[in-house]
Structure 1
């Protein structure tokens, strides 16, 4: 395949990294990963000896090391956790978070046909942690990814944004800041009281202005992507040593790596056409010295030689040299992206030059507006895209497409990344991959997703339907979790089109979460906001989606039920509105009193529209509808003109 390109699957890094406390992350090294694989090997031998009733073999094999053939075993979560517990010494939530993420990537990134998971299974927490089996080579690669440690300042590779924190402000902190400020030079700049510019007090030092996670999140994506690429290039030899321990990475060595072995790396590396579109080809097809898989000899096998085998050092050097970033699938989103002024309010966010079909849908740098992306505007029949919402503020976003990750239909999924947004309300369509909410402030998200990650967020609300616990990491402050709160026509059909398997009798795992920052929670003071809490029924509101789904005239649908207390609260809200309407229409009051009541109600309603930003949203929606009507009229008039000519 002379025109093939090799790139890094960046979603493993961008969506899959665990942010653990330093004393637990200390065991995330290549040496510890190797020890964990050895521990798995011992468990395999012990299980085989127990099955054969050979106690002597059981004792003898305890000193054995991991071998290439172990890569092809598949294990469940309890088997893996029990085997590696003495090596990593993590907390229970760390193991659970690792495995929940791994299952998502395992199901969405097929490497060999023998390991493709069934798509019709209900992948809830019980299934993931008890029944789902993952091949060992994927576990090894995902552990290798975790060794990048971008959150650790001690590591050679580090990214400053992972160190940013929100500063919890209360009366005592503000008083202390004022006292320190008064003792400093009168020429010094005053400190701000806003959340992302509050002082960090260290003894008697002057208050310092330090960027919040939201500010640090508004960096060009290419900064972190280039960092991950260099890490893999430099450490690829270590990964070869983990997966193929008998292979000597020396040019003169007689040890070889077969094509089937190289294909295992397809969980981390991807091969495609020169246009950087995933062709679903095996990774070994990119090596020019090998014939295609159709031409391989009958003797080729996983540990055999044949025509498709090569010196391990040459293979490793080839991938290091040719590995690159795929800016089609992973564009460098950030301030280098074209400004939001190039997008149209009429919900058409396509630039003048249409991007490749596999490119993600990017909503970037929108401010004080309303953005609507309908289902028909996402992806093409041959594939689709991820959704990226970046650096938007004071914006209503309705992204209702069930877009797909560019893989075969049997493993289609969507990843949604919402990063560095502020004061936004976001509704997304069904998402069969991972939804990430990162470094956002005062953002309300309504979503259906296979898995949700929340990192470094402040005063945000997530109303969701998901089958597994949310993974919370980093510095979260004032984050509320609530049940899914939207219904619109066509939602059930979108779930079917996205192959999203759900339980129609359950509200999902919206209130369940795995908190990787629980040590800070335990030591939080009484004056601080709760890092994570459950939304109260009194605060629960239903989201109205102002979109008519094409070809569907049915009323709003709610495929899954609300929890009883939230359904009761919603019913009470509707009854209150109906009672007011009945009161105004009744004959109990004279005309003057009714007019006074109407005036009061209208005044309060206008105040609510103004304070919530809904007044601007209504004007935006009117403009969008007029634009769509004008375009529709123009399109209908064109055929008539053509016939007249």
Structure 2
């Protein structure tokens, strides 16, 4: 069963072509012609950890024995047949540290497909006791072998050069970097298209589903070791990787789309089916989706783009006009914002995932509850993310300030960025990073606490100052790396000096939006930052009092006022904040 090549099946015909006249009323249909199988982006985008001991490249050989050991260490109750393991069992089986084992649990909880799983809803103090189901863990471990699609160059290099600074504060020490770091610092990366990524993920699954099914399947009694069968419960574990759905429809359980389980009596346990039959059905559906993607890409290249295309084209980064777009199934996009201020509310976004891509010299406000958020390829920008209940990923950014209230955040390959965080889990730092700083959360808007409650971000737990750095090399990229580099740990982040900490004020852009109850930062400030803030407020009050009480002639008062205004104007231009005033005036 380790061979994932398609097998012929006498019990399941190929999916019918779009014409309904070719299907027989008595023939089971895998899915309607309008519904395709799709990969879940979450485990591929937010669920990969650069920990070498989690990556198994020998198919089922190692994972089969790991599964057996996990099952022997697992616990199950009479009311729950699912075998679950805690971080201690994970650490013992995989020979990793307790911190890394806990990281595995935290990561799985952020990408798990089943929102009713106890791990998803567990409080931070309960996660170890709840643990994770063994078969979900095995699927998670298998996909750690996935290699991301290489980013491709932007179609308009001149536009990139126009907004991406040619010099940087850290250019002076580039000569001290390793060749790997030098190559990465000089390459501008752009996210592959959604269609390319989906096809790449499906191709990976097409190659490896045979092995994954072998790990989930049971051996039929009396049929020999080579006869593997899959129960309806085991099939649902594949929901970690794939789902059926189209045009904004709700994702349905795989068993409801599988012809061999679709008509099962809910009061009677479904009879397990041969794993080879399940594999054939899945491969047929994947092939159909890959063909569909190819047709859509071809149609886009030869004709006008339609609003429902899953592959949302990039906006040229030199454009000064804002662009936001939403695909029918995938995340909303904010792309190519340059030298502007931009705001999005919950009513402006469809879906619960967002990607901010290639934005430069701008201030972007996302004042909405989200499940997932990605910030990619941005520079010299401030990005405010409202409340993110699952995971944030910030990648390939330079001189960016990110303000986020989130369950967890991963920072990869960034330079000279500052992160103002309210996070319930340790910030994860991976890849080639330089001069990163972390600080406590520093803003609010009127609906912030309502949005945090919606997505499950807890204000009483903030681990902003406990960054966890992993390897400088990401084994999930498709690049070749010099020998020994994979053992180097990523540069971690340092805490921002409390004297440099300031609150960030969000302009009142709500307009027709409902006004919430949040009046202040919901995350308590650490003592050092609170003392610094109080000292700054006191100093400001004293200066205002001195200016008010100073006895000056009218001409001297006008001169002082003019000087203060001139200095303030100089600061507005030097800091780039003058652009925000123009944007506010325009709105």
TM-score category (smaller protein):
0.7 to 0.9
Distance 2:575 2:251 in 1: 46
Residues 544 and 297 (structure 1 numbering): CA distance in 2 closer, same or farther, change over 3 Å? closer
Which residue of 2 is the match for residue 431 of structure 1?
A: 388
Residues 554 and 147 (structure 1 numbering): CA distance in 2 closer, same or farther, change over 3 Å? closer
Asked if structure 2 preserves the Cα contact closer than 8 Å seen for 1:437 and 1:454, the reply is yes
Which one of the candidate residues 500, 511, 534 is aligned to 2:465? 511
Residues 40 and 569 (structure 1 numbering): CA distance in 2 closer, same or farther, change over 3 Å? same
Which residue of 2 is the match for residue 611 of structure 1?
A: 574
Which one of the candidate residues 379, 383, 387 is aligned to 1:422? 379
Which one of the candidate residues 272, 296, 314 is aligned to 1:337? 314
Instruction: Let me know the Cα RMSD of the aligned residues.
Output: 3.8
Count, aligned residues: 509
Asked if structure 1 preserves the Cα contact closer than 8 Å seen for 2:385 and 2:403, the reply is yes
Which residue of 1 is the match for residue 111 of structure 2?
A: 105
**What per-residue deviation string (whole Å, max 9, x for no partner) do you get for residues 581-606 of structure 1?**
22222134444544443333222211
Asked if structure 1 preserves the Cα contact closer than 8 Å seen for 2:472 and 2:491, the reply is no
Residues 343 and 278 (structure 1 numbering): CA distance in 2 closer, same or farther, change over 3 Å? farther
Distance 1:521 1:570 in 2: 41
Residues 378 and 136 (structure 1 numbering): CA distance in 2 closer, same or farther, change over 3 Å? same
Query: After alignment, is 515-524 or 537-546 more displaced?
Result: 515-524
Asked if structure 2 preserves the Cα contact closer than 8 Å seen for 1:200 and 1:208, the reply is no
1:268 Cα shift?
1.3
Which one of the candidate residues 73, 76, 83 is aligned to 1:43? 73
Distance 2:173 2:282 in 1: 46
Query: After alignment, is 438-447 or 316-325 more displaced?
Result: 316-325
Distance 1:536 1:350 in 2: 35
Which one of the candidate residues 96, 100, 106 is aligned to 1:94? 100
Which residue of 1 is the match for residue 546 of structure 2?
A: 583
* 1:475 and 2:432 aligned: yes
Which residue of 2 is the match for residue 466 of structure 1?
A: 423
1:573 Cα shift?
2.1
* 1:79 and 2:83 aligned: no
Asked if structure 1 preserves the Cα contact closer than 8 Å seen for 2:151 and 2:190, the reply is no
Distance 1:195 1:19 in 2: 26
**What per-residue deviation string (whole Å, max 9, x for no partner) do you get for residues 239-293 of structure 1?**
0111115279x9x975432333212211211122x43x35232102222354434
Structure 2 residue runs without a partner (length 5+):
1-30, 153-165, 294-306, 474-484
Which one of the candidate residues 123, 143, 155 is aligned to 1:145? 143
Asked if structure 1 preserves the Cα contact closer than 8 Å seen for 2:55 and 2:141, the reply is no
Distance 2:181 2:422 in 1: 41
Alignment of 1:289-300 (within 5 A): 289-293=260-264, 296=265, 298-300=267-269
Residues 12 and 212 (structure 1 numbering): CA distance in 2 closer, same or farther, change over 3 Å? same
Which residue of 1 is the match for residue 301 of structure 2?
A: none
Residues 200 and 312 (structure 1 numbering): CA distance in 2 closer, same or farther, change over 3 Å? farther
Alignment of 1:210-229 (within 5 A): 210-212=183-185, 215-229=188-202
| Aligned-partner SS, 2:570 | helix
1:192 Cα shift?
7.3
Which one of the candidate residues 447, 458, 468 is aligned to 1:502? 458
Distance 2:515 2:37 in 1: 42
| Aligned-partner SS, 1:146 | helix
| Aligned-partner SS, 1:37 | helix
Which one of the candidate residues 230, 236, 240 is aligned to 1:263? 236
Which residue of 1 is the match for residue 505 of structure 2?
A: 544
Asked if structure 2 preserves the Cα contact closer than 8 Å seen for 1:2 and 1:288, the reply is no
Asked if structure 2 preserves the Cα contact closer than 8 Å seen for 1:359 and 1:385, the reply is no
**What per-residue deviation string (whole Å, max 9, x for no partner) do you get for residues 299-352 of structure 1?**
424xxx2xxx4321121122122124798999445xx3355799966xxx566x
Residues 9 and 438 (structure 1 numbering): CA distance in 2 closer, same or farther, change over 3 Å? same
| Aligned-partner SS, 1:78 | helix
Which residue of 2 is the match for residue 184 of structure 1?
A: none
Which residue of 2 is the match for residue 365 of structure 1?
A: 336
Which residue of 2 is the match for residue 317 of structure 1?
A: 280
Alignment of 1:263-282 (within 5 A): 263-272=236-245, 274-275=246-247, 277-282=248-253
Which one of the candidate residues 349, 352, 360 is aligned to 1:378? 349
Asked if structure 1 preserves the Cα contact closer than 8 Å seen for 2:360 and 2:378, the reply is yes
Asked if structure 1 preserves the Cα contact closer than 8 Å seen for 2:428 and 2:470, the reply is yes
Asked if structure 2 preserves the Cα contact closer than 8 Å seen for 1:362 and 1:390, the reply is yes
Residues 542 and 397 (structure 1 numbering): CA distance in 2 closer, same or farther, change over 3 Å? same
1:522 Cα shift?
11
Which one of the candidate residues 399, 409, 413 is aligned to 2:366? 399
1:209 Cα shift?
7.6
Distance 2:177 2:428 in 1: 31
Distance 1:13 1:342 in 2: 30
1:453 Cα shift?
0.7
Distance 1:225 1:355 in 2: 13
Distance 1:208 1:37 in 2: 37
Which residue of 1 is the match for residue 304 of structure 2?
A: none
TM-score, normalised on structure 2?
0.76
Distance 1:484 1:194 in 2: 26
Asked if structure 2 preserves the Cα contact closer than 8 Å seen for 1:29 and 1:147, the reply is no
Residues 287 and 341 (structure 1 numbering): CA distance in 2 closer, same or farther, change over 3 Å? farther
* 1:568 and 2:531 aligned: yes
